[in-house]
């Protein structure tokens, strides 16, 4: 098998939320500066392009209506965790985002998903909780509480690997790690502690290490279907590493959403 054929894509269903009310009007992560203007029309164009990329790859994109007063609702990944049709609702750390949880929960329920009872621990959905195919990775330290571990294990019946996040710029796990397929991930080693790096090395057979300059543009905030990897086009080094590893990287420009600390993955909740 050649490098370019050893990766296989599977069709996915994604939930996205249009950035209709997107702004940066508060700061809950180091990327957010309310004094820096956001171009709303440009954000909308960039988001629409991301959606087009997904549909052109054969994926299904569903959308949840944006709600006024919730400028970060565009970051659908944080809305919940959906594995095998079961939903763990989000519980946001910051009051500014807390009402988003109910909106996502209501949408998922009406779409026929089984929503479990309200979580006890703070958790910001797929931003920190990542299904690898065999286990669940759960990031903690800035947003999600470590205690989500027990709730995840009980609800989904899967092994949970807790990972402590060390760098405030990489405040959600999906800013520092992307699962490319069940055996392969790319990550930014400096965002984790020793125990985390060891745990990742023992879970994945192949680990791609992102360089500082690619992590710094949120290059790891990527969406993989097993073969195609949609990531910030600014992450040139990581794009080359992914290509060398047999994946098909597809760069997108989400520079307006980066002003809130978000990228392609943040805008995308996978409905499994
Ligand atoms: N401004 C948002 C926040 O700080 C960005 C969320 C990004 N989402 C993600 N999945 N990393 O909560």
3-state SS string for 170-226: HCCHHHCEEEEECCEEEECHHHECHHHHHHHHHHCCEEEECCHHHHCCCCCCCEECC
Query: 121 lies in which domain range?
Result: 4-270
- pLDDT for position 48: 98
The pick from 260, 267, 269 for probing ligand 1's pocket by mutation, whose C-beta has the most ligand atoms within 8 angstroms, reads 260
> Do residues 53 and 5 touch, judged by C-beta distance below 8 A?
no
pTM: 0.97
User: For atom 8 of ligand 1, which residue has the closest CA?
Assistant: 266
Question: What band does 202 get if pLDDT is binned at 50, 70 and 90?
Answer: very high
Summarize pLDDT for 123-169 with one digit per residue, the tens.
Answer: 999 999 999 999 999 999 999 999 999 999 999 999 999 999 999 99
What's the CA gap between 268 and 220, in Å, rounded? 14
Expressed in angstroms and rounded, the spacing between residue 240 Cα and the centre of ligand 1 is 26
Q: Residue 187 Cα, ligand 1 centroid: separation in angstroms?
A: 18
Rounded CA gap, 139 and 18, in Å?
26
Look at residue 1 and tell me whether its pLDDT is greater than 70: no
Residue 6 — pLDDT band, cuts 50, 70, 90?
A: confident
| pLDDT, tens digit, 9 for 90 and up, residues 39-61 | 999 999 999 999 999 999 999 99
CATH number of the domain bearing residue 222:
3.75.10.10
pLDDT at 132: 98
Flag whether pLDDT at 231 surpasses 60.
yes
CA distance linking residue 165 with residue 85, whole number of Å: 28
What pLDDT is stored for residue 3 in this prediction? 54
54-108 pLDDT, tens digit each: 999 999 999 999 999 999 999 999 999 999 999 999 999 999 999 999 999 999 9
Indicate if ligand 1 lies below 6 Å from the C-beta of 270.
no
d(CA 267, CA 146): 24
Ligand 1 atom nearest residue 128's Cα: 10
Q: Which atom of ligand 1 is nearest to the CA of 174?
A: 11
Q: Cα(143)–Cα(25) distance, rounded to whole angstroms?
A: 19
Cβ(76) to ligand 1 under 6 A?
no
Cα separation, 175 vs 116, whole angstroms: 26
| Ligand 1 pocket residue status of 28, Cβ below 6 Å | yes
* Angle, CA 249 vertex, CA 247 and CA 252 arms, to 5°: 165
Question: Tokens 């209501």 belong to which residue?
Answer: 106
Mean of pLDDT values over 209-215: 98
pLDDT tens for residues 177-193? 999 999 999 999 999 99
Q: Backbone dihedral region of 119: left (phi > 0), alpha (psi from -120 to 50 degrees) or beta?
A: beta
For ligand 1, atom 9, the nearest C-alpha belongs to 266
Per-residue pLDDT at 4 exceeds 60: no
Number of domains in the chain: 1
**Number of CB atoms found within 10 A of residue 261's CB:** 23
Report the pLDDT value the prediction gives residue 84, as an integer from 0 to 100.
Answer: 95
Q: Which ligand 1 atom is nearest residue 265's CA? A: 10
């Amino acid at each position: 098998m050649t490098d370019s054929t050893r990766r296989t894509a599977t069709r996915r269903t994604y939930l996205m939320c249009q950035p209709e009310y997107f702004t940066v009007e508060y700061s809950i992560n180091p990327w957010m500066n309310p004094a820096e203007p956001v171009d709303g029309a440009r954000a909308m164009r960039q988001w629409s392009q991301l959606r087009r990329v997904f549909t052109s790859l054969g994926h299904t994109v569903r959308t949840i209506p944006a709600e006024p007063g919730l400028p970060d609702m565009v970051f659908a990944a944080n809305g919940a965790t959906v594995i095998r049709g079961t939903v763990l609702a989000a519980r946001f750390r910051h009051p500014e985002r807390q009402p988003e949880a109910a909106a996502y929960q209501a949408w998922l329920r009406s779409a026929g998903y089984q929503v479990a009872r309200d979580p006890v621990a703070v958790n910001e959905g797929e931003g920190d909780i990542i299904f690898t195919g065999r286990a669940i990775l759960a990031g903690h330290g800035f947003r999600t509480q470590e205690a989500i571990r027990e709730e995840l294990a009980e609800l989904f019946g899967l092994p949970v690997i807790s990972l402590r996040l060390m760098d405030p710029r990489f405040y959600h796990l999906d800013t520092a790690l992307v699962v490319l397929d069940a055996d392969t991930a790319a990550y930014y080693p400096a965002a984790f502690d020793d125990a985390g790096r060891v745990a990742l090395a023992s879970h994945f057979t192949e680990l791609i290490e992102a360089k500082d300059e690619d992590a710094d543009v949120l290059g790891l905030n990527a969406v993989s279907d097993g073969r195609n990897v949609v990531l910030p086009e600014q992450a040139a080094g990581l794009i080359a590493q992914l290509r060398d590893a047999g994946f098909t990287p597809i760069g997108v420009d989400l520079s307006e959403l980066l002003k809130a600390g978000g990228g392609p993955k943040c805008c995308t909740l996978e409905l499994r």
